[in-house]
Chains A and B, each alone.
Chain A
C-alpha cells in the first residue's frame, strides 16, 4: 500500500489531467492506473479493472469504426466521456483500500484543517449507519403501509416523502447530540495539534509511487 498522501495527490492530478488529455492519452492514463493498483499487490482488483477496461475499449473502438446513426453516436458520447473518467476511478478504488483512520491521519499530515477532518470523519463513519437506519425505517413504514415500495402511496408523493425522511431526521438530531456530548468529554475541542498512532512517513517503496507523478504528466504529450 502506497502512502495515502501520495495516492490522494495522484488522484487529484489524474482528475485534472483527464480534462486535457486526448482519447489516446486517457487510455495511457488508464493503463498507468491499473499498473498502480497492481504494484500495490491488489491482484484481484487490478485483474477486474483490466478485464473491464479491455471490454470497454473494445466496445469503444467498435463504435468508432461503425459509422452509425444517432443512437450509436449518443452511446459513443457516453462511452467516450466514461473513458476519460475511468482512470481517476481506478485511482480512487486504490485509495478506498486505505483504512479510514489511516487516511484521515494522512490528510492531517498534509495540513487539511482539523474542522474538515472532523466533518469528514463523522461523514465516513456514519455513512453506513445512516444508510442501514433508513432501510430500517422503510421496513417499519412498509408494515404501516406507507413505504416507498407500495405504489399506491405515490399518489401523495409529498406525504410519502415526509414519512420517509422525518424519522431519519429525528434520529439524526439525537445522534448528533449524543455524539457531540460524548466527543466533548473526550477532548475534541482541545486546542492541541492532533497526533496519531499511525506512523505516517515516506518509505523507499513510496518513491515508486512518486514516479507516477511524472508518468501521469507525460500522458499529456500522447
Chain B
C-alpha cells in the first residue's frame, strides 16, 4: 500500500526535516509513528497524504508510491479519493455548519451521484450512532463527538488508507476509548492505517508496528508487545509516553497547607437557564499546592475558571484571598488563566514587550522572570514565532509579572510528548513553590500523577469527589478520569 524509498525533505528555508527515510506498509497494516516533538512525524504524515508537495512547499526527493499513485505527479484531489486524512483539531477542519452536511462534503466534491450519497450517508449514520446528531450544529458537539464526525466523514468516500495525525490530542479518556473502538472497526474492514501519536496506550490492540522517529529518521521499530515490556527509564529517555494506561507512578511532592484562596458556596446561573452551572460550590486552594480539576465536558470546569478570573460574576457566594473577600473585578490581576490556545493572549511584537505591557518600568523583575522560565534568550523574538511550549511559558511569565497568586492552566499537555510533559510538570511544581496555587484543568492522567497534590472531580456543577494524591493509587486516578 505504501512504499517510501530513501526520502528526504528540505523546507524552502533550508531546514532538512527528513533524511534517509524508507517505509513500507502492507495493505491492512496499522503502523503507529511516534517520537519526540520535532522528529519529523508530521512532515512524514504530510508526505503520506499528499499535502507535501502539493500544499506545503519544499524539496522532496526519493521514490514514493502511495495506494498505487506517485504524489509528486498525481493531483491532490485524486490522491484524496484513496487516502483519508484525520487531523488533531476538528474545529478548523469543518467546512459546514451541520453534522449531516459535513459528512457528505467530500462526496459532493467528487460529484458522486445524489442517490449514492444519501444511501452511504444513511449507512454511516446508522453504523456509527451519529443518527441522533444528524441535524446538530457542529459547534454544539463535544470534542469527542467532533472527532467522531470527522472520522466518519472520511469513511464515506471509502478510502483504502487512513492517515491520522494525533487524533486523540483533544480527547478525554472516555472519548479516546470510543476512538479505539472506531479504529478497531476500521482494522476489521482491512483498512490500512498510519497513525501519528504521542499517546500510545489506546493503540496497543490495533497497531502492528510502532516506529520511533528522531531527528528526521526512523530509528527503531517495535511491536506492541516489545513496547509494553520496555522499562520506564528507556521510555523516558526516548521521550515517550507510557504505552500502558494503567502504568504510571505517582510523584508526590511536599506542600504547605496554608489556605490561599477560599471559594465559598459559589453559585453561577445564567438568566435564561433553569439550572445553575455551579451550585454552592466550595473549595479551598492552599498555598503551594497543585490541584487537578477533572470532569466531563459541561461539568462546569471552564465556568469555574472564568468565574475565578472575574470574567463571569457569581450570583451568590464569596471568594477570599488570604481571608479578604475579592469581588469579580478585583480578581482579574490575582488569578491568571493560561488558555489551551495562547494566540488569544499574546498581543505584542516581542517577548520583551509582551512581558512589560502593563508594567513598563519593572524591567529588572521582567528579566528575572524570563530567566527563570528560560525565555530570556528569546527576548526580541515575535511571540508568533515561538514554539507552543515557549508561548505557554510566556503567558505564564506575564502572569508572574502581574503578581498573580492563582494560576489556572487549561489542558497544558494536550498533544505533548514525554519530554515536554515532564517539562510542564516541572514548571507547574516551580510555580507552586512561588507561593502560588496552581489549578490544572486536564484529562491527562500522567500530568496529574507527576505534579498534582490533589484531584477534584467536577460533575454537573458540584464536586463529585476529591482526593489527596498521597491517599490513592494511579489506577484510582485512571478510574476517576474515565
Chain A residues close to B by CB (< 8 Å): 99-101, 121-122, 124-125, 128-129, 133, 136-137, 139-146, 163, 166-167, 170-171, 174-175, 178-197, 199
A186 near B109: Cβ-Cβ < 8 Å:
yes
B51 near A185: Cβ-Cβ < 8 Å:
yes
Contact string against A for B residues 377-421, beta-carbon threshold 8 Å, 1 for contact and 0 otherwise: 000000010000000000000100000000000000000000000
Bound-state CA distance A143–B344 (Å) is 12
A170 near B384: Cβ-Cβ < 8 Å:
yes
Q: Which residues of B contact A128 (CB under 8 A)?
A: 139
Q: Which residues of A contact B76 (CB under 8 A)?
A: 184-185, 189
Bound-state CA distance A61–B55 (Å) is 62
A153 to chain B, nearest CB (A): 12
Q: Which residues of A contact B117 (CB under 8 A)?
A: 195-197
B114 to chain A, nearest CB (A): 6
Bound-state CA distance A190–B153 (Å) is 17
Q: A195-B112, A199-B114 are in contact. Are A178 and B347 (CB under 8 A)?
A: no
Q: Which of B270-312 contact A (CB under 8 A)?
A: 309, 311
Q: Which residues of A contact B343 (CB under 8 A)?
A: 167, 170-171, 174
Is there a chain A Cβ closer than 8 Å to B83's Cβ?
yes
Bound-state CA distance A63–B208 (Å) is 81
Q: Which of B50, B89, B108, B358 contacts A196 (CB 8 A)?
A: B108
Residue of B nearest to A192 (CB): B111
A101 near B97: Cβ-Cβ < 8 Å:
yes
Q: Which residues of B contact A175 (CB under 8 A)?
A: 92
Q: Which of B50, B87, B344 contacts A137 (CB 8 A)?
A: B344
B98 near A101: Cβ-Cβ < 8 Å:
yes
Bound-state CA distance A167–B383 (Å) is 11
Q: Which residues of B contact A121 (CB under 8 A)?
A: 95-96
B54 to chain A, nearest CB (A): 7
Q: Which residues of A contact B112 (CB under 8 A)?
A: 195
Q: Which of A146, A182, A187, A199 contacts B109 (CB 8 A)?
A: A187
B93 near A179: Cβ-Cβ < 8 Å:
yes
A192 near B109: Cβ-Cβ < 8 Å:
yes
B135 to chain A, nearest CB (A): 9
Residue of A nearest to B92 (CB): A178
6 additional contacts (CB under 8 A) given A146-B357, A187-B80: A125-B96, A140-B344, A144-B347, A186-B95, A188-B77, A191-B77
Task: Kindly specify which of B18-26, B99-107, B219-227, B314-322 makes contact with the partner chain.
Answer: B99-107
Bound-state CA distance A95–B431 (Å) is 54
Is there a chain A Cβ closer than 8 Å to B49's Cβ?
yes
Residue of B nearest to A134 (CB): B344
Bound-state CA distance A196–B339 (Å) is 39
B105 to chain A, nearest CB (A): 6
Q: Which of A145, A185, A194 contacts B108 (CB 8 A)?
A: A194
Is there a chain A Cβ closer than 8 Å to B85's Cβ?
yes
A20 to chain B, nearest CB (A): 37
B347 near A182: Cβ-Cβ < 8 Å:
no
A185 near B344: Cβ-Cβ < 8 Å:
no
Q: Can you list 6 A-B pairs, Cβ within 8 angstroms, ordered by A? A: A121-B95, A121-B96, A185-B85, A189-B76, A189-B77, A194-B108
Q: A133-B344, A145-B358 are in contact. Are A194 and B50 (CB under 8 A)?
A: no
A119 to chain B, nearest CB (A): 12
Identify the interface centre among A142, A183, A187, A189: most chain B CB within 10 Å of its CB.
Answer: A187
Bound-state CA distance A170–B391 (Å) is 14
A221 to chain B, nearest CB (A): 42
Bound-state CA distance A60–B343 (Å) is 50
Tell me the interface secondary structure of chain A in the complex: helix
Q: Which residues of A contact B105 (CB under 8 A)?
A: 186
Identify the interface centre among A121, A125, A133, A140: most chain B CB within 10 Å of its CB.
Answer: A140
Bound-state CA distance A122–B97 (Å) is 10
Q: Which residues of A contact B347 (CB under 8 A)?
A: 141, 144, 146, 163, 166-167
Q: Which of B324-373 contact A (CB under 8 A)?
A: 332-333, 337, 339, 343-347, 357-358
Q: Which residues of B contact A191 (CB under 8 A)?
A: 77
Residue of B nearest to A196 (CB): B108
Q: Which residues of A contact B111 (CB under 8 A)?
A: 190, 192-195
Is there a chain A Cβ closer than 8 Å to B179's Cβ?
no
A143 near B54: Cβ-Cβ < 8 Å:
no
Q: Which residues of A contact B75 (CB under 8 A)?
A: 189
Bound-state CA distance A128–B97 (Å) is 11
Residue of B nearest to A99 (CB): B98
Instruction: Please name the 4 residue pairs, one residue from A and one from B, whose CB atoms are nearest each other, closest first.
Output: A192-B111, A187-B109, A178-B92, A101-B101
B114 near A196: Cβ-Cβ < 8 Å:
yes
Q: Which residues of A contact B55 (CB under 8 A)?
A: 180-181, 184
A144 near B80: Cβ-Cβ < 8 Å:
no
Bound-state CA distance A187–B117 (Å) is 15
B139 near A129: Cβ-Cβ < 8 Å:
yes
Q: A190-B111, A197-B117 are in contact. Are A140 and B345 (CB under 8 A)?
A: yes
B110 near A182: Cβ-Cβ < 8 Å:
no
B50 near A185: Cβ-Cβ < 8 Å:
yes
A100 near B49: Cβ-Cβ < 8 Å:
no
B109 near A181: Cβ-Cβ < 8 Å:
no
Bound-state CA distance A139–B81 (Å) is 43
Bound-state CA distance A146–B49 (Å) is 43
B97 near A125: Cβ-Cβ < 8 Å:
yes
B77 near A187: Cβ-Cβ < 8 Å:
yes
Bound-state CA distance A189–B76 (Å) is 8
A144 near B83: Cβ-Cβ < 8 Å:
no
B108 near A197: Cβ-Cβ < 8 Å:
yes
Residue of A nearest to B382 (CB): A170
Q: Which of B51, B153, B309 contacts A181 (CB 8 A)?
A: B51
A101 near B96: Cβ-Cβ < 8 Å:
yes
Is there a chain A Cβ closer than 8 Å to B254's Cβ?
no
Q: Which residues of A contact B56 (CB under 8 A)?
A: 181
Is there a chain A Cβ closer than 8 Å to B118's Cβ?
yes
